[in-house]
Structure 1
């Protein structure tokens, strides 16, 4: 029965395209943000939060409508994106920087600070495949958070490594959120959203259910 209910909910989002059935992930989504805004994206799994983030980042192009963005957009979706297990930690820092669109000089200027933050020591010159999962996460987090964002997109609040490193990671994430001109954070953690965000956009089946001041939304939310 639950499986049937889930399929029924998705039926309204199935459309035909070139003889195929595809899911229309977003429909009539419209909102505007100004410098200083911290937007929380809220919705159940499958509501379109991650898709919206990827549209804003340019991974997906909208099939209708338009996006107007003034400023450099950086995203933290997967801190280990683009890593090569055969390459050293140092080489992977370079690879990730290139994926981010940094110039060689920008990568070089961030290299030592990223290595120091990762606390990997001599392991930085060993292949990534020799790292534990926690060590690889620390490396990825260190380089992924080494930029100065103007618009920062986050799919959940990223933590990495052991408890001590996670505390340091939270501090860095807080700093990034404060320094970015605009933050868009997709999360199920209402405590986090309440702490970070001044606006909330709720998605239901790919549509905007509400877009409003965070304080007003949290005041009505039954979970608060």
Structure 2
């Protein structure tokens, strides 16, 4: 994957409080104001096959925007993105699922959405369902699921759809220790099969453990790229945060 001079600017509107005179003129209605947000600013990097790339930064740094752009969900305002192979995305847990359908039915929909044939999806559906360890819930409507159960299903679909590039945004922060261990093992399996992975997480310990490289974003700008240990240390120094087991998982 290659990202070159990527910038994304979007507009958001908000209600501006009117003065008394304006309120009287407009019968008490507020006025809509438009604000431009520069989510990404001239970001460039290239990711070779086999790379596990961690993406870190504070809230509002542009991490999720970058992931959505690489997944083809958000169009660039300027710059280019080249994707080599099939990308499987888990950008927001449960997004894209139909809550009125069962977990098993959503597995099939997820596979079809990922570009697999009906035959390929049906061949994998049972394996994916078993891997989730949801038991009888797999055949119940997803509206009965907890957020953790939805996360399990979403992660399971994403990693079983033969992705060349896997993009995960905070997915591993949910679930019990057993499921996180399974997820880590699956991610390692994907890395060994020469597929690229992108992981956005506030858990800096997970970035160090699971990634081979890392990039640090701040206010839409690429601040640093390098070994996960070096990038995380620079980020923590930037935030003036003391190293501890708590801070590395909670920042």
The equivalent residue for 2:72 is: 58
- How many angstroms apart in 2 are the aligned matches of 1:37 and 1:161? 25
Residue 67 of structure 1 corresponds to which residue in structure 2?
81
Could you tell me how far apart the structure 2 residues matched to 1:77 and 1:99 are? 14
- Of residues 183-192 and 137-146 in structure 1, the stretch that sits farther from structure 2 once superposed is 137-146
Q: Which residue of 2 aligns with 1:179?
A: 193
Q: How far, CA to CA, are the matches of 2:81 and 2:127 in structure 1? A: 34
Higher strand share: 2
Question: Following TM superposition, by how much is the alpha carbon of 1:57 offset from its aligned partner in structure 2, in angstroms?
Answer: 0.6
The aligned runs of 1:3-152 (5 Å cut-off) are: 20-152=34-166
1:101-150 deviation line (CA, Å, top 9, x unaligned): 32211211111101211233444333333444444433333223212221
On the 8 A contact 1:50/1:155 being kept in 2, the answer is: yes
Could you say which structure has the greater relative contact order, defined with CA pairs below 8 angstroms and 6 or more residues apart? Answer: 1
Contact 1:74–1:152 (CA<8 Å) still a contact in 2?
yes
The TM-score with structure 2 as length reference comes to 0.72
Instruction: Report the secondary structure of 2:60's partner residue.
Output: coil
Mean CA deviation greater in 154-163 or 20-29: 154-163
CA contact (8 A) 1:41 1:187 kept: yes
CA deviations 1:40-74 (Å, max 9, x no partner) are 21211001011001111101111111112222222
Is the CA contact 1:84–1:128 (under 8 Å) kept in the aligned structure 2? yes
**Contact 1:89/1:128, CA 8 A, preserved across alignment:** yes
Aligned residues: 210
Question: TM-score by structure 1 length?
Answer: 0.79
1:134-178 deviation per Cα after TM superposition (whole angstroms, max 9, x unaligned): 444333332232122211212124255444334333332333344
Q: Which has the larger radius of gyration?
A: 2
Distance 1:197 1:65 in 2: 26
Alignment match, 1:9: none
